[in-house]
């Protein structure tokens, strides 16, 4: 694969944006799990595992809203 300097800069910017999004997702997951998973352990999760945990968190948030119980 041959890229121009501009394409390389764009690719690096894209990778940086994606890595920041992943780090944010992992930190939010750790926060919602209240220490049930460490940040280091979260990095070891596969994309599929992160998606599944995210769905569980969303479901729990929805249940909390419906029940009126405090979450935070």
Contact 42, 29 (CB under 8 A): yes
Contact 61, 71 (CB under 8 A): yes
* Stated pTM of the model: 0.77
The domain limits of the chain are 5-67
Q: What is the pLDDT of residues 22-69, one digit of tens each?
A: 999 999 999 998 889 999 999 999 999 999 999 999 998 899 888 988
Nearest to 24 by CA among 49, 66, 4, 54: 54
Residues with Cβ within 8 Å of residue 48, at least 6 apart in sequence: none
């Amino acid at each position: 694969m041959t890229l121009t300097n501009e394409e390389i800069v764009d690719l690096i910017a894209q990778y940086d944006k994606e890595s920041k999004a992943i780090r944010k997702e992992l930190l939010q997951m750790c926060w919602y799990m209240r220490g049930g998973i460490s940040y280091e352990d979260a990095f070891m999760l596969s994309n599929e595992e992160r998606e599944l945990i995210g769905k569980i968190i969303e479901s729990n948030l929805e249940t909390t809203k419906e029940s009126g119980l405090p979450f935070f």
